[in-house]
Amino acid sequence: MNIKIKKIINKKNKSKIVCLTAYSKNIAEIIDKHADIVLVGDSLGSVIYNYSTTRKVDLKMMLEHTKSVRQGVKKSLLVIDLPYNTYRNKSEALKNSKKAIKETKCDAIKIEGGTRVKHIVTHLVKNNIPVMGHIGVTPQTVKGKFKSKGKTKLEKQKLIRDAIALEKSGVFGIVLECVYGDTSKRITNLIKIPTIGIGASVNCDGQVLVTDDILGLTGAKIKFIKRYANIKKEISSAVSKFKQEVKSKRYPSKKYSY
């Protein structure tokens, strides 16, 4: 097992896990200093390409962005999302996982789904592919607006079954997205591997958010997003100053000219 993965597992019940997304080297090398896990998420579909769904993201996109991110990640565990329709069966999942790891030098892959993908997870793990799970709201399959999961008894039971199935299949951690607090607490206490929450309360072993969201670069209005900066304002200010200096012929001065 990858030593970085062992470190993540060992944080269970000891230290909260910090996970953030990155889609380029420049951002990756900044968050690498603070994160335990850097995720190249298929959320890049909406963040970078303005897609309405992650289903439009393909493997080529994921690989190219992960190659860039890899250059900026030295310390953290680097995980890549396998996009929609790239793990429909065991052979397809293995082929694409091997391709992802070989071409990007990432540490692990992440796939969405619970009991329906347990046979695929088992196959990948047997072939030495480290896998992170993802249950609750799964953007690759969701239709319509995102709705939290695990409030009703039936939903709670299903999510618990999914989590246990994934753990038995060999995942080293599970993302719980938009899962009701009591349910995420129950799951976290039941399984021996870490849970990483996104809109799933403080009860999880760690938290993940889209970096562009916490920096204020996106206008996403989702309950669980907290903005820690307003980078849009900073960019606007810098561009405005550049414009003024160009118009007034203050830039480029002799200092910035050959």
Q: What does each of the 258 residues of the chain score in pLDDT, given as a tens digit? A: 789 999 999 999 999 999 999 999 999 999 999 999 999 999 999 999 999 999 999 999 999 999 999 999 999 999 999 999 999 999 999 999 999 999 999 999 999 999 999 999 999 999 999 999 999 999 999 877 778 999 999 999 999 999 999 999 999 999 999 999 999 999 999 999 999 999 999 999 999 999 999 999 998 788 899 999 999 999 999 999 999 999 999 999 999 999
Q: What are the start-end ranges of the H helices in 73-180?
A: 90-104, 118-126, 153-169
And the tokens for 193?
A: 């591997």
What does the pLDDT read at residue 1? 75
Amino acid identity for residue 222 in this structure? I
What does the pLDDT read at residue 199? 96
What does the pLDDT read at residue 147? 85
**Contact of 121 with 166, CB cutoff 8 Å:** yes
Euclidean distance between CA atoms 246 and 55, whole angstroms: 42
Q: What are the start-end ranges of the H helices in 49-150?
A: 59-72, 90-104, 118-126
What does the pLDDT read at residue 81? 98
Establish whether 177 is a catalytic residue.
yes
Residues of 4-42 as b/e, b for ≥16 C-beta within 10 angstroms? bbeebeebbeeeebbbbbbbebebbbebbeebbbbbbbb
Find the catalytic residue in 29, 177, 234, 245: 177
Place of tokens 């335990």: 36
What does the pLDDT read at residue 2? 87
Report the SS3 class of residue 78.
Answer: strand
Quick one: angle between helices 118-126 and 90-104, nearest 10? Answer: 50
Euclidean distance between CA atoms 18 and 148, whole angstroms: 22
